[in-house]
């Protein structure tokens, strides 16, 4: 049965905060999280007549996943274009930003990632810092590590897989 305006309002009341947290944990950007939540509900409103099923929440999170994937694709392009033009997009107020960070637990998550990163072997930590934090190319990472490019890629990949596995294990334990 298609959803009506009241159904969408109920979905918003039930899921808006959780969606902001969902996006903030994946983007590490409160502004992007707020925008993605708004885009998710805009898509839900536009497509509400096409909904068929029993679980509107699952349908909404499907839209959210799609919005997130699109954001990942366009975020890099948009950031580079804005930087070239010297423009800053309008931002959240400090209170809004802090509230989103609080809801999503970003401070705690950043701390956990830092702890887990510190537990990685030194060569993996350095490879990940050079590639992800400093945004160096693999050729530069390889030169800094004194290895070939394939070995540099392998170290970064192992570090990322290790961090992801540790974070998933913690999430499964309910930490």
Over range 29-44, report the average pLDDT: 86
**Segments forming the whole domain that contains residue 121:** 106-173
Domains identified in the chain, total number: 2
From CA 98, how far away is CA 82, in angstroms rounded? 24
pTM, entire model: 0.50
- Whether residue 168 is predicted with pLDDT greater than 60 in this model: the reply is yes
- Whether residue 65 is predicted with pLDDT greater than 90 in this model: the reply is yes
| Same domain assignment for residues 91 and 26 | yes
Reported confidence tier of residue 145, pLDDT bands at 50, 70, 90: very high
Long-range contacts of 150-155 (CB under 8 A, 24+ apart): 152/127, 155/123, 155/124, 155/127, 155/128
**Rounded to 5 degrees, what angle do the CA atoms 43, 25, 92 make?**
70
| Same domain assignment for residues 144 and 165 | yes
Residue at which a domain ends, from 60, 77, 104: 104
Dihedral sign, CA of 171, 63, 77, 143?
positive
- Whether residue 31 is predicted with pLDDT greater than 70 in this model: the reply is yes
Over range 143-164, report the average pLDDT: 88
């Amino acid at each position: 049965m298609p959803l009506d305006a009241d159904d969408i309002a109920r979905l918003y009341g039930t899921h808006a905060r959780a969606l902001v947290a969902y996006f903030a944990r994946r983007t590490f950007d409160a502004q992007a999280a707020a925008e993605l939540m708004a885009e998710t509900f805009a898509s839900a409103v536009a497509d509400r007549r096409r909904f068929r099923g029993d679980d509107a929440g699952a349908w909404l999170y499907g839209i959210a996943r799609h919005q997130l994937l699109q954001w990942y694709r366009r975020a890099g392009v948009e950031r580079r274009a804005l930087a070239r033009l010297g423009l800053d997009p309008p931002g959240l107020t400090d209170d809004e930003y802090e509230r989103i960070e609080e809801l999503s637990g970003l401070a705690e998550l950043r701390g956990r990632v830092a702890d887990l990163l510190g537990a990685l072997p030194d060569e993996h930590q350095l490879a990940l810092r050079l590639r992800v934090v400093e945004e160096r190319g693999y050729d530069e990472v390889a030169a800094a590590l004194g290895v070939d490019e394939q070995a540099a890629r392998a170290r970064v990949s192992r570090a990322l897989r290790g961090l992801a596995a540790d974070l998933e294990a913690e999430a499964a334990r309910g930490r």
